[in-house]
Structures are given as C-alpha cells and as structure tokens.
Amino acid sequence: MHSEWDVVGLIRLREKLQSQLRDLLKERPRGNVDQNLMSEIARLESSLTIAKDDLVGIFLVLDHSMRSLMNATPLFRVLVNFD
C-alpha cells in the first residue's frame, strides 16, 4: 500500500517531468517527443492512480472499523464524541 506521502511525491515528480517535457517540446520539433519522458509520465500516472485507490481502500476500512467499534462499544462512542 502507498502512503499519502508517496502520493504527494508521485504528484511532484509527475509535475517535474511534465515541465521538463514542455521545455523539450519548445526546443525540439513536435515530431521528436522524448518517448522516455512520455513513458515515465504514463508510469507515474498509473502509480498515482493505484496509490489513490489504496488510500480510498484504507479510508473505507478505517471508516468501517470506527463504525463497528461505535456500534459494539457504548463507552467508545462516548469517548469519540467527547469534546
């Protein structure tokens, strides 16, 4: 599973690579797009999607666990709602 920091790192890396690709496109004719950068961006976008899905799954498990605890333990419900 990926942590939130992994997702942030992947987003930053993707933005950096996209910026480099834009710079290269300005320097080169359009027909010579660097395939390595395009492949890396596609890989990063795939990793980002997987990491986001993992985080959604973690959130759903946590939400289910919290609801189960609140339903099973009245004292836990009181402690959670205590301000």
Look at residue 30 in the predicted model and tell me its pLDDT.
Answer: 52
Q: For the full predicted model, state whether its pTM sits above 0.85.
A: no
Contact by Cβ (8 Å): 74, 68? no
Band (66; pLDDT cuts 50, 70, 90): confident
Between residues 43 and 66, the one the model is more confident about:
43
Contact by Cβ (8 Å): 37, 28? no
Look at residue 57 in the predicted model and tell me its pLDDT.
Answer: 92
Asked whether residue 37 carries a pLDDT value surpassing 70, the answer given is: yes
**Domain extent listing, the chain:** 4-81
Look at residue 29 in the predicted model and tell me its pLDDT.
Answer: 59
